[in-house]
Amino acid sequence: MNITEENPLQPLACNSFSLIIGVICGSITQIKPLLNDINTLRLLSYLQNIEVHILANGEKRSDVDKVATLIFAQKNSPIAVTYGTEQTKVLSIGQARSQIQKCVGKKMLDFTHCYAWILDDDMRIPNEAHAYLTWLPAFKKNKIDVLVGNFNGGSPNPPAHGIRVQLNDLIHNLKWLNGLQENQILPNRERENERFRLTYPDYYYDLSRKHDEHLGMPYWITPECEGESVLEAKHRVIKNVFKILTGEPFLRPLIVPISKNPLLDSKPSCNRGGNTFILNSEALLKTPNAILLTNGEENRRSDMIWAIINRYYHSLTIQSVSFPVYHHRFVNVKAKFNLHKTVSEIRGAALYAAMIHYFESNPLNKWHNLPSNGDIISIAYAEYVERRLLQYSENFSVITQQLKIIESEYLSAHPSINSAMKEIKTWVSKENFNTIASMVNNADNNIDIVGFIASLNTQIDAFCK
């Protein structure tokens, strides 16, 4: 599959190497397309060996093996498949990540020239990967230890974190389309969209800390095919409105251009997600996904804490790079607003922001004095939580007003979107916000940020054994 219309990145001449791909499988339906994509990598001459290590977490290992065996059944295939320990219960995401990373790290030691690729099971590998994988040895030669890749397609954030910008697009696009002749060819405003993406990198995200000007600006619907009429485009918009609830990209897809010179354009980052390249096995073998617990429940963003530990404790070099995979959202999954995940996301994001601020705000702040400065992290954490709750409050208020505009101006002409609008209305209700705020505040009375920070060295030492 292609994710860009034009691929400026050229393959780089490199010596052959082995590639280990680690995936946590929570759903056979989700992982099957990814395994099919991995199977296409067997044709790449520079890949000496390919090994896929799967941790079945929510699916039976035997069922996953049946699917993988059918996909990788070709004769002389360089692809081997191994599995993590059979789970008697579903692991939390942080526990699963620590387990699979330790296994993949050990496997890297079996090969002389080897890199690892840790992927979420709902990712798709684009054709462009055939070129950008050839750049991994060059990054290794430049003493880069970890590369944080990015995404095209669906945002890695929860669907609820993109509702405001997409309703904004729905209103602007319907108003624009209604002002055109239905039988005329849809004008192509992709140049405007491209400038918008370059100016506001978080253009798809309601809760950006980088900027907020993008929230009220439109992202225009562009022709699906040559000669598409205004009426056809309008029907397409209405038909796909429900995707706002599932997080599948439609009105405002995530599009990341691939750099012509990745080495030059890569930047330091700990903002790790479900697309990570490991060039140094120590990043996997010496670093756990440290988990902040609240009343025994795991908070999110442990992968980013993993990156912080690698960068500031182990002094490894971690760079973000424009090597995207396609985030394949599944629209057949019933959309719902998960309050517990929302609260977990708020706390995890606040902890990550507080720790990053601690290290980046003062070059004198080093890891060795972190345990004694847990109170500074704790204060910053509380400030980021409060800031995020204010963002939620404002977001819910604006979305409520957007729904009123849609109801008064567009619902009678397009009654089929009513069910989606009703569902969104329940998501952003005052009751939901009050519940989120109450859950966050009640949990934070029982959360020990100082204790968590003080425990990190012990967690790291235990993981290394």
Residue 20: in which H helix or E strand, if any? strand 17-25
The side-by-side arrangement of strands in the sheet containing 275-278 is 79-83, 47-56, 17-25, 114-120, 275-278, 146-148, 318-320, 267-268
The whole-number average pLDDT for the span 334-357 is 88
- pLDDT tens column, 269-326: 999 889 999 999 999 999 999 988 877 778 888 999 999 999 999 999 999 999 999 9
Query: Exposure pattern of 182-194 as b/e (b: 16+ CB <10 Å)?
Result: eeeebeebeeebe
**pLDDT digits 0-9 by tens, 24-71:** 999 999 999 999 999 999 989 999 999 999 999 989 999 999 999 999
Look at residue 345 and tell me whether its pLDDT is greater than 60. yes
DSSP at 183: T
Which residues are 20's β-sheet partners? 51, 116
The CA-based dihedral angle spanning residues 50, 283, 350, 334, taken in that order and rounded to the nearest 10 degrees: 20
Q: Which residue has the tokens 């985030």?
A: 327
Q: What share of the chain is helix, strand, coil (3-state, %, to 5)?
A: 50, 10, 40
3 state DSSP class of 47:
strand
How large is the average pLDDT for residues 243-250? 86
| Chain segment 192-224, per-residue pLDDT in tens | 999 999 999 999 999 998 999 999 999 999 999
pLDDT at 76: 64
pLDDT grade for 338, boundaries at 50, 70 and 90: confident
Q: What is the pTM of this model?
A: 0.93
